[in-house]
Amino acid sequence: MSVQVFWFSEEPYSYVDEDLLSKHQTESYFTLSNKHFDPEKAHGLYKNYYEQYRQADEVGFDGIMTNEHHNSWWCMKPSANISAAALVSNTKNTKIAILGNIIPVTANPVKLAEEIAMLDVMSGGRIISGFVRGGPVESIHANLNPADNMERFQEAHDLIIKTWTSEGPFRWEGKHFHHRIVNPWMKPLQQPHPTIWYPGTSSVESVVWAAERGYAYMSVGSTYEVALATNKLYHETAAKAGHETGPEQYGFLIRACVADTDEAAFELGRHFMWNEKYRFRGPMEHFDPPGYRSRESAKVNAKRIQPGLGGWSYENLVELDQIIVGNPDTVVRKLRKYHEELGAGNLIIYGQEGPMPHRSVMRSIELWGREVIPALKG
């Protein structure tokens, strides 16, 4: 079974620490004042992150995944498309998976369609276009009703697809979006449009929505057991809808790093606790507001294991293979569980987090390309 391996980083502002948050955080992570942002420090971090991307491109990763979040110090990417544009110019070979554009909070889906088409043309057809609902906080940030999230998502999706696949000009008068003339000059290089991915953590509706349309589903932030259930649901639903599916239609995101020894990797991997340890502070209604999630999805979501939540220690998460660390042989052995047993044809390696030393991350990427990826493909 073939596998594609993608590299991913949230590009965090890693200078946030316990001392800063304990002194200045008020209600939630996204209310930490931006007065603590230092653009000079951020510039240095960006240089490191894009050096890491260039290395991932050179050593043999199949793709690089990027995303966006708002008001977030743990993700310095308020625009997935700007991030993708930087990747277009910093890489030559890898696919660029935009996972993705938070389309329910956009004011103009047609503009997004134009931008993604432009990226696809500039990159020579290397774009994978991911559409996401975004976390509940994204709706709060955009001053939108979280209960409207899925409805806005579906209308924005339909408008983007029509923009890519229909000759203009045409008119769009929906419930949430209104365009008198839709006639963008820019069209994607890939026809009828770039490959579409849809990510989800545990939402039953998300799995079904992707499967019914034949879009690849990427499981992010779920346990192995939850992923088994969503994988089964995905393929069964896709088959009923008349779509042929295989491992390439399913992916799994996993925190993982490689070092020369198991011991060194174990210590490096402790940084994976940085994001979730601080990120989910604040009132629960900021992270799970009424109306955003169905009752069925809430039940599945309760089974997720998040670093820093529910009393799970780093040692627990490594033992459960929710975080994978080790030398190349150890990492290959553990990842085969997700590739071969789960049937994930796309492995998204969340390989850099928080204040991980840049030199250690570069060494990890080198080992991924030299030893881990060839072994997985072999």
Q: Summarize pLDDT for 296-314 with one digit per residue, the tens.
A: 555 555 555 555 455 689 9
d(C-alpha 161, C-alpha 182), whole Å: 12
- CA distance linking residue 60 with residue 358, whole number of Å: 19
Distance between CA 354 and CA 225 in Å, rounded? 27
CATH assignment of the domain containing 229? 3.20.20.30
CA distances from 182 to 168, 194, 324, 336 (A): 6, 19, 47, 46
**Tell me, what's the pLDDT at 249?**
95
Please report the pLDDT score of residue 9 as a whole number: 98
Please tell me the predicted confidence (pLDDT) of residue 287. Answer: 60
pLDDT number for residue 18: 82
3-state secondary structure (DSSP) of residue 132: strand
Whether 116 contacts 187, CB under 8 Å: no
Instruction: Please list the ranges in the chain whose pLDDT falls under 70.
Output: 1, 25-29, 136, 139-140, 142, 280-311
Q: Estimate the crossing angle of helix 204-213 against helix 224-240, to 10 degrees.
A: 40
pLDDT at residue 31, rounded to an integer:
77
For residue 341, how many other CB atoms are within 10 A of its CB?
Answer: 10
Whole-model pTM above 0.75? yes
In total, how many domains does the chain have?
Answer: 1
- Residue 373 belongs to domain spanning: 4-377
CA angle 341, 369, 99 (to 5 degrees): 65
* 8 A C-beta contact, residue 286 and residue 235: no
Output the pLDDT for position 55: 98
Helix axes 109-123, 149-165, angle to 10 degrees: 50
Under DSSP, the state recorded for 247 is G
Q: How many CA atoms lie within 13 A of 216 on its CB side?
A: 23
Single out the residue of 258, 370, 355, 326 nearest to residue 48, CA to CA: 355
Nearest residue to 220 (alpha-carbon basis) of 128, 309, 346: 346
Positive or negative torsion for Cα 101, 76, 249, 229:
negative
- Burial bucket for residue 214 (CB in 10 Å: 0-12, 13-18, 19+): middle
Q: What is the pLDDT of residue 284?
A: 59
Cβ atoms of 31 and 286 closer than 8 Å? no
Q: What is the DSSP letter of 361?
A: H
C-alpha to C-alpha distance for 244 and 238, rounded to whole angstroms: 7
* CA–CA–CA angle 352, 14, 112 (5° rounding): 70
Task: Tell me what pLDDT residue 301 has.
Answer: 54
- Can you give the pLDDT at residue 72? 87
Predicted confidence at residue 158, as pLDDT, reads: 98
The residue among 74, 72, 23, 67 whose CA lies nearest residue 45 is 74
